[in-house]
A and B are shown apart, each in its own frame.
Chain A
Amino acid sequence: DAGITQSPRHKVTETGTPVTLRCHQTENHRYMYWYRQDPGHGLRLIHYSYGVKDTDKGEVSDGYSVSRSKTEDFLLTLESATSSQTSVYFCAISSGATDTQYFGPGTRLTVL
């Protein structure tokens, strides 16, 4: 298995609070991705990174920001969490833009 960890694995928070999710990899892969998974929607891309300090938006980026200051870490921040951001968040990595993506274990976030 690819070395990908996510933290925290579970989080419950209140509407309006900031939340940061962390994805950490030990594979030295260039590309990192944040997805959310919701019933009826499948996985949807929030943001992705193609190198340190290089990021781009996905299809559901509103309300989310990301940062990548080191190759191994990709942070997803909800500046002011809303109930619509209750979801399971997956990080993924790949060595190249068109290569197989390897997924982390997921973070279950509940916003009350």
Chain B
Amino acid sequence: KNEVEQSPQNLTAQEGEFITINCSYSVGISALHWLQQHPGGGIVSLFMLSSGKKKHGRLIATINIQEKHSSLHITASHPRDSAVYICAVRSLRAGGTSYGKLTFGQGTILTVHP
């Protein structure tokens, strides 16, 4: 079983719809990242969070540490949001010291139609 599981794997939406992508993980973490990869291949970091919620424009990321779960929401989706969204977690080292290595989910392919 992968340490990081994303759902759904594929998501199709109509422009304007509210979108939710989920990420579940099985290890203790110090932080969780959401990244975006456009069809051209470039990867951009969207959020890094360790608790609560963060918002940037139409994107909202939440995390529940106790339930080991995070969600990425997109409000008023647009065709330019079409991309692969990747969840990644930074594991806790034994004893609670964090270090930089990330474990990535397989990504959610989002397609938004006009």
Interface residues of A (CB under 8 A from B): 31, 40-45, 48, 58, 88, 90, 94, 96-103, 105-106
Contacts and interface: CB of A to CB of B under 8 A. Distances in A.
Main SS of the interface on chain B?
strand
B104 to A, nearest CB: 4
Interface string B67-93: 000000000000000000010101000
Nearest to A44: B104
Contacts of B101: 45, 48, 58
A43 B86 contact: yes
A88 B102 contact: no
Given A42-B86, A98-B90, A103 B102 contact: no
A58 B86 CA distance: 19
Contact of A105 (B42, B100, B102): B42
